Structure 1
Amino acid sequence: MIAKQSRSKTPIFAVLLTAVVFSNYLAYRLPAIPLPPDTRGMVIGSLVDLSIVAPLLILAMTRKKGFTLKRFVTFMVLGLVASRFIIPSTYFAPFAFIPYIAIGGEALFLLAELSLIFLLIKHIPSIFREMKLQQTSGLFAFPTLVKQKVSRHPLVSMLAAESLMFYYAFASWKRKPELAENQFTLHQKTSLVAFYIMLIHAIAIETIGFHWWLHEKSVLLAIGLLVLNVYSIVYFLADIQAVRLNPVTVGEDRLYVALGIGKRMEIPYQAIEKIEWGAEAEAVSLKDKDVIDFIARDFEEGKAHCVIHFNVPLTATMLLGMEKPFRKAAIRLDEPVPFRQLLEEKMA
């Protein structure tokens, strides 16, 4: 009931935002609205509407993405830039410097974020040294060390995720997957690798054939499509290697489970409320927004061998380093019986 009420407020905020923008636009152009001799107070009111009220309404409309200072400043700058076109130049002239100041402030934010990139590069050698001492794989250790030594900023997390993608796509092919007694694969009894290879071939053929035709129509679109297709191929190559080299690991105090570079999670045993196996696990809907599934892609839909329920929401790391909380994890393994035996021993 609460969710329905919160969703119903979004159109209201959209209507209010439209009213704020158009009322300020029409106030300077309708002959029926007399303008005061000194319009500076009126312009200041419009600037407040467009730089404060409008951004707050946009944040309210997109509240699921969170209320952050960075997002507010970005919308404020956009509002001030828009004011240059909404308010006629005759009245806006005394305040023409304001949008430039706002853009300069946004540029400072951008420079601060770019400095995080150099900070990440500076700490890469020490991160690599500490990774060798970690008992977990680089897929888990690298992002954790980046957060500890550099920043938890979304830009840094995205760069760390992209670095992992390029590592697995180009620098991991000499490594051979070796299973320890506490590690279990997710993909060997599926057609995941064959499915990815089929996708790579399809993208490569489409790129070669369609690119030249599109190049004659639009060079910009052809280049954009080429970049997107090359990125997709690199991603699929990285995902294949990440799946092969990062099996599910039953650690001393937690479970490390990943499916490629776009989905991974650490599950402490103390956060496990219960585990469903067999028919009970298969009955759980994988479309539930609270469920994250670690089921290898196959030509046929796979069923979960186990569903782990958490007593508190746990965060999973998704594509581009984005994080999302879940209450359950559904897992399908190549060898579910020994996995269950070892997991129950560790939890006991």
Structure 2
Amino acid sequence: MTLRISNQSWVWFVLLATLILLANVSLYRVEFTQPITPMITIGSFLDFIVTIPILAYFLIIRRRLSIKYLFPFIGAGYVAAWLIIPATYFQPLSAAKYILFAVEGAFIIFELVLIAFLLKRLPLVIDTFKSEKERIPFFKDRLENSFLTHFKPSKFLFILISEISVFYYSLFAWKKRPSHIHFKAFSYHKKTSTIALNIMIIHALIIESIGFHFLLHQWSPIIAIIALVINIYGLFMLLAEIQAVRLCPYLLSDQNLILQTGIMKKIDIPLKLILSVNEYTRSSPLSKQELASIFDAAPSDFIKEKPQIEIILKDPIQASYLYGMTKKVNTIHLRVDDPLLFLNTLKNKIES
């Protein structure tokens, strides 16, 4: 499954959707827009259930995802309308909820059927997962391989794999140690501040969650709870990233170089596809076109450092990201704690 949604697409969607939301919030709270006529209310309602989903379709869904993924945006738009449009204006529009509920109900039933099908085959998935422990050392890779052995690839499946991985690393991996019996391992986080950066963000997130929750609660308790849930999920994501960085070093075997950076991104490179591997010496900035075909394996840090090593491939291969997103790349940039050892070991493997 190939899914390519650029950061720019997400930025534009979030920016435009936020502007629409703010415009509608202001509409009902600014004095000079009063009085609100029924036609204005209908237009406002259509912003939530039509305009924002259309933005989602053209910026995120089109040519990347099934049209069924438009339904959650429509449902979220209805919830936003119910929260933002005052009850006195919203009452005449409440009948629309039955149509939306019917559509959302069909979507939910479809997903429940998928879950039931998944549960039926779960014992087979668990058996495959246990049997592949030595061959596939990383939890997320082993989980993905186990599911794809018994199920066809789907967006739902990749989301499920990502969610299980997030909660595994954030809650159950604290006493684990890196396990890579048949691989040469290279750490990449000990000489960076990536763990310190994530810990700092966690502290800021906790403080922001407490303060912002009480401020939002004065305006809308429901939105305050939604924001709190999102922040708690972000906390799990950061904890998972810390643990995955620690437990997933770069691995080198006789056939492959596996670069998994935390929980967010990963690439598996057959050594026979490597054209060259050298120290990174370029001083000029990279163009957007060049960046589009580069896999940056370096972890996040307070200050973005230049890569130490550049790997050029003979042919483009697919890099994997969280939630099943992928990207074709022909160049890999990375930093490791011992770059000279990594460079010499990899060159020897390629030559042999």
TM-score with structure 1 setting the length: 0.68
SS at match of 1:199: helix
1:85-122 per-position Cα deviation (integer Å, ceiling 9, x unaligned): xxxxxxxxxxxxxx999889767644543345425634
Q: What letter matches 1:225 in structure 2?
A: A
Return the alpha-carbon distance in structure 1 between the equivalents of residues 223 and 139 of structure 2. 36
State the partner residue of 1:219: 221
State the one-letter code of the partner of 1:66.
Answer: R
Q: For 1:67 and 1:296, how far apart are their aligned partners in 2?
A: 27
Unaligned runs of 5+ in 2: 1-53, 75-99
**Structure 1's 178 and 141: CA in aligned 2 closer, same or farther, altered over 3 A?**
closer
Q: Does the 8 Å CA contact 1:261/1:319 hold for their aligned counterparts?
A: yes
Partner Cα separation in structure 2 for residue 209 and residue 59 of structure 1 = 31
Unpaired stretches in structure 1, ≥5 consecutive residues: 1-56, 79-98
1:202 has 2:225 as partner: no
Deviations 1:13-47 (A, max 9, x none): xxxxxxxxxxxxxxxxxxxxxxxxxxxxxxxxxxx
Amino acid at match of 2:330: R
- Aligned-partner Cα distance in 2 for 1:128–1:278: 38
Distance 1:125 1:276, change over 3 A: same
Partner of 2:311: 308
Corresponding residue for residue 128 of structure 2: 127
For the residues of structure 2 that align with 1:169 and 1:100, how far apart are their CA atoms? 34
Corresponding position of 2:248: 246
The residue number in structure 1 matching 2:267 is: 265
Measured after TM superposition, the shift of residue 137 of structure 1 is 2.3
RMSD: 3.3
Per the alignment, residue 142 of structure 2 pairs with 141
Q: Is the 8 A contact 2:262 2:299 kept in 1?
A: no
Instruction: Report the alpha carbon displacement of residue 267 of structure 1 after superposing the two structures with TM.
Output: 0.6
Q: Please name the residue that 1:71 is paired with.
A: 67
Equivalent residue runs for 1:14-53 within 5 Å: none
Determine if contact 1:291/1:329 at 8 Å carries over to the other structure: yes
CA distance in 2, matches of 1:330, 1:63: 27
Return closer, same or farther for 1:215/1:73 CA change in 2, 3 Å cut-off.
Answer: closer
- 230-239 or 321-330, which moves further after superposition? 321-330
Q: State the 1:213 CA deviation.
A: 2.2
Once residues 60 and 207 of structure 2 are traced to their aligned partners in structure 1, the CA distance between those partners, rounded to angstroms, is: 42
Q: Does 1:184 align with 2:181?
A: no
CA distance in 2, matches of 1:330, 1:276: 10
CA distance in 2, matches of 1:58, 1:209: 32
State whether residues 170 and 236 of structure 2, in contact with CA within 8 Å, keep that contact through their aligned partners in structure 1.
yes
Cα shift readout 1:212-267 (whole Å, capped 9, x = no counterpart): 22112101110111011100110000000000011001111010101111111101
Contact 1:119 1:150 survives alignment (8 Å): no
Equivalent pair of 1:158/1:322 in contact (CA under 8 Å): no
Superposition pairs of residues 104-123 of structure 1, within 5 angstroms: 109-119=110-120, 121-123=122-124
When structure 1 is superposed on structure 2, of 262-271 and 136-145 the one drifting more is: 136-145
Q: Could you list the per-position Cα deviations for residues 271-314 of structure 1 after superposition, in whole angstroms to 9, with x for gaps in the alignment?
A: 2222232314x657285111120112222221111121222221
For the residue of structure 2 that corresponds to 1:189, the secondary structure is coil
CA distance change for structure 1 residues 211 and 114 in 2, over 3 Å: closer, same or farther?
same
Give me the identity figure in percent. 28
CA distance in 1, matches of 2:144, 2:242: 19
Which residue of 2 is the match for residue 151 of structure 1? Answer: 152
- The structure whose Rg is larger is 1
Give the TM-score normalised by the residue count of structure 2: 0.67
Q: Distance in 1 between matches of 2:69 and 2:211?
A: 44
Cα distance in 2, alignment partners of residues 58 and 236 from structure 1: 29
Task: Provide the secondary structure at the position in 1 that maps to 2:305.
Answer: coil
CA distance 1:283–1:344, shift in 2 (3 Å): farther
1:53-92 equivalence runs, <5 A? 65-66=62-63, 70-71=66-67
Secondary structure (helix, strand or coil) at the match of 1:314 reads strand
1:178 to partner: Cα distance: 6.8
Q: Contact (CA 8 Å) 1:117, 1:156: kept in 2 or not?
A: no
TM-aligned CA deviation for residue 133 of structure 1: 3.8
Taking the aligned partners of 1:179 and 1:136, their CA distance within structure 2 comes to 6
Paired with 1:206 and 1:132, the residues of 2 have a C-alpha distance of 40
1:317 aligns with 2:325: no
Pick aligned residue for 1:344 from 344, 347, 350: 347
- The letter of the residue matching 1:222 is A
Q: Deviation at 1:316?
A: 1.4
